[in-house]
Amino acid sequence: MIYNFDEIINRKNTHSIKWDAGELLRKFEITERFDEDTIPLFVADMDFSCPQPVIDALHKRVDQRMYGYTTHATDPEYFKTIQNWFARRMNWEFPADSIVYSPGTVHALKIAVRTFTNPGDGVIIQRPVYFPFTNVIEGNGRIVLNNSLVNNDGYYEIDFVDLEQKAKLSSSKLMILCSPHNPVGRIWNQGELEKISRICLDNNIVLISDEIHGDLIRTTETFYPIANVNSDDKIIVCTATNKTFNMAGLHCSNIILRNADMREQFSKELGMQMPSPFSISALIAAYNEGEEWLEQLKVYIDKNFDFLKNFLANKMDKVKFRIPEGTYIGWMDFSGYNMDPEEIHNRIYNKANVVLEDGKIFGEEGINFQRICIPSPRSILEEAMNRICTEFKI
C-alpha cells in the first residue's frame, strides 16, 4: 500500500511527551514557552502513523479482551521474527538464545554498566553523544572517559589515538558506541568498526553498540552491524523496534549477547522482564510485514533532509549543516551567528516557539549546536524553519 506521510495527525492531548509535555519541559528549564502554537521537534519519535500491519495486529490483540502476563520467552515466533529481520536486512545472523528482552535501550545500558563495571571504573563514550549515556554512567558511580569526536566541517571522525590511550587506562572497563551516531549522524564504516573492535579486544574492554537507529539510514547508504566485523562474542548489541517503526511507547528493545556467561550475568542483573502483549504483537507484525512502510519512510525522510539542507543554504547560510548518513536527526551549527548559546536558544524556543534540543546537553562539543528531529510531515518542518529563520534575520 501507499503511505501518506504528509498527513497531519493531531497528537495533542494523547499523553504524548512530544506534544503534551509543556509543564515538564518548563520544570526542567528546557523552554520557557510551550503552548497550543508550539512546534516540538525535540523528541526522537515520528509524527507518522505506524505501519498498517502493526495497527491491524494491535486491533486483533485488543479484540482478545485480556492482556495478562506474557510468555514471549517460550514463543519461537518472537525470536525467529527478530532473527529473520536482521538476517534479511543486514546479513547478520545470531542464535535465538542470544536475544534478551529489555523494556528499553537506556535501561539495558544501565544494566550493562552495573553488570560489567564497578563503581569508580571508567566508561568510554564519544561526545557529542546522546546524553543518557552520561546519565547511566555517572548515575551509577562510574567515570566518563570522553573520546571526543573530531568535527571536520560537519563530518565527524574518531580520534583513534585518543581512544587507544583511554582504553589502556587501568580504570577503563567498558565502551558504549552509538552506531549510527546520535546526534552527528555518522554510520561508522567497516574499517572504523574494525579499529574500535581491535582496541577494545586488545585492552579487555567490554564493547556495547547501540544500533537502534540502524534501520533509519539514507537510501544511498549501507549500515554495518558491528557483529559482522567483530568475531569477539563478548560484544553487546542493542536493537529495538521503537525508532524504526515509531513504537517507542510499546517499550521493546532486544539485546544481543552471544557470550553465554555474559548473557547470564546481564540477565541476572536485569531481572524478570516481560514485554506487554501489545509489544509482542507489534514487533512480530512490524518485522514480518513492515518493510514496505519502512522503505517509503526512508524516501520521505531523505526528502525532508533535502528540504532542510536547501532551506538553510538559501535562507540561513550562516548555519552549517550536513545531511546525516543515518538517523532522522539533524545537527545544526549556529556558531556562524556569533551569538552566545542563550541567545540562540531564546530566538528559537521562546520567540519562534519551536522546541529543539540545545547541543550543549550532548557535551561541550555541542555548544552553539541545535539538534532537530525531522520525521514529521514536511509542512510542519517547513513552518518550524520559517519561524526560526524570521528570528535570525539580523
Give the model confidence (pLDDT) of 286-334 as tens digits. Answer: 999 999 999 999 999 999 999 999 999 999 999 999 999 999 999 999 9
**Residue 27 located in a structural domain:** yes
Number of domains composing the chain: 2
Q: Please report the beta strands in 166-310, taking only residues with DSSP state E, as ranges in sequence order.
A: 172-178, 206-210, 236-240, 253-257
Domain shared by 31 and 138, yes or no: no
- Among 289, 318, 342, identify where a domain stops: 289
For β-strands 369-373 and 329-333, DSSP reports them as antiparallel
Domain carrying residue 155 = 65-289
The H or E element containing residue 156 is: strand 155-157
**Residue 171 located in a structural domain:** yes
Domain shared by 132 and 254, yes or no: yes
The model scores a pTM over 0.95: yes
**Per the structure block, which three cell numbers stand in for 116?**
560489567
8 Å CB contact between 181 and 188: yes
- Among 229, 259, 289, identify where a domain stops: 289
- pLDDT at position 70 over 70: yes
Band (30; pLDDT cuts 50, 70, 90): confident
Band (16; pLDDT cuts 50, 70, 90): very high
**Residue 107 located in a structural domain:** yes
Write a three-state SS string for 62-91. Answer: HHCCCCCCCCHHHCHHHHHHHHHHHHHHHC
Domain holding 40: CATH number? 3.90.1150.10
Distance CA 320, CA 154 (A): 7
Domain shared by 133 and 158, yes or no: yes
Mean pLDDT of the 121-138 span: 98
Each residue's pLDDT tens digit, 225-266? 999 998 888 899 999 999 999 999 999 999 999 999 999 999
**Per the structure block, which three cell numbers stand in for 18?**
512530544
**Per the structure block, which three cell numbers stand in for 139?**
548515575
pLDDT (0 to 100) of residue 394: 65
pLDDT (0 to 100) of residue 218: 98
Domain shared by 212 and 316, yes or no: no
Mean pLDDT, the chain, rounded, equals 96
| Residue where the block lists cell 528570528 | 391
Domain holding 71: CATH number? 3.40.640.10
- pLDDT at position 23 over 90: no
What count of other Cβ atoms lies within 10 Å of the Cβ of residue 350? 15
Helix (H, G, I), strand (E, B) or coil at 124: strand
pLDDT (0 to 100) of residue 29: 75
Helix (H, G, I), strand (E, B) or coil at 253: strand
Domain shared by 103 and 240, yes or no: yes
pLDDT (0 to 100) of residue 46: 98
For β-strands 172-178 and 122-125, DSSP reports them as parallel
